Structure 1
């Protein structure tokens, strides 16, 4: 049979405990078999998990729809988020918008902030940080923008931005961040764990970060090899 990862020819490599023939690929060094009884091993499961999570389905929803364990869904989300690639940016003298939105985890008792920046013209996500709303944390996003030699950086009147962004390129005002505010609405609409007035929430910060990364950069994953 052909390898399900690289499409090269596999060799027989013994049997599973249930008697099913096992195959081994000499090129990618992976073991496989022709068919699996557990649905999570089907070929398109990872892609289905990605499509469902960014279209307002929670982990428990995906578990019920695909008939696989919610623990497996969570592990796959963490694995897929590691396969995302932050876009390489070769731009300068561009305008950016930066803002933050809150998310609650662990029974909604803990509040964390999703801070990110977008290119005002292309709407590309150029920086992301999830954590506390303090200057030292927001600096992770601001410093990444400053490396691009920006023409303008637009934000609201939050005091940390005034400390971190040089005055000559900083413009503050609620009406100046319309593009990123609209993206906030998309996030709360498309990601169930960020919806307001709901019982849905994320239990861990790692899972929240994985979901947001998949929403922003999931299109960089080559699902043929994951």
Structure 2
């Protein structure tokens, strides 16, 4: 309550009868404590941390004492506010895909992404079918790279300039190891599991938070 006394002042009452406070700086209104956990201001950061640690949806909802429906909406909202990282020019990247499914195991979908070889960060990704049109959403962002390493998938030959494209032995070691890390942390991507994504938008949101 020390922060409330210093930065906030009383401004009426909520519908539940609790005292309402207004911030002197941002002019937003809030209350001192919340009976429903979904309204806690720090909740988004906690959801992001649990998602990165691989906690499943129902597990996060149970730990935070909120409904799964609210949690799903919040995860999608958090992902929309994440800005894409900067793609640095004149360095080396590795590109690969992870096969998974959405809705049912017959409906295959691919997670294509690019890994910065220098700091092992994911600079761009796409949840797509494995076609030239959809894979280009990743490769088109790497036009200023010094070298791009991929496996021998034939689509890459037409998508990446031969001057910077490489398929050398062990050229994709870092991203292949990263694939294992992703499958370990995100259960919906594990090869043999009962966990799966019902919709592609949810898979995309979780990956965006994780990356």
TM over 0.5: yes
105-114 vs 180-189, greater mean Cα deviation: 105-114
Per-residue CA deviations over 1:23-46 (Å, capped at 9, x if unaligned) read 223532422100111122234322
C-alpha distance 156-57 of structure 1, shift in aligned 2 (>3 A):
same
Root-mean-square deviation (Å): 2.1
Mark the runs of 5 or more structure 1 residues left unpaired by the alignment. Answer: 217-226
**1:45 paired residue number:** 43
Which residue number in structure 1 is paired with residue 21 of structure 2? 23
Contact 1:3 1:32 in 2 (8 A): no
Where in structure 2 are there 5+ consecutive unaligned residues? none
Q: Which has the higher contact order (CA 8 A, sep 6+)?
A: 1
Provide the residue aligned with 1:223 in structure 2.
Answer: none
CA distance in 1, matches of 2:6, 2:137: 43
- d(CA) in 2 for partners of 1:214 and 1:92? 24
Q: How does 1:1-226 map to 2 (within 5 A)?
A: 9-25=7-23, 27-89=25-87, 91-146=88-143, 149-173=144-168, 175-216=170-211
Distance (Å, rounded) in 2 between the aligned partners of 1:50 and 1:59: 12
How many residues align? The count is 211
Deviation digits for residues 57-115 of structure 1, max 9, x if unmatched?
111111122221011111121121122222224x3321111011122111334221111
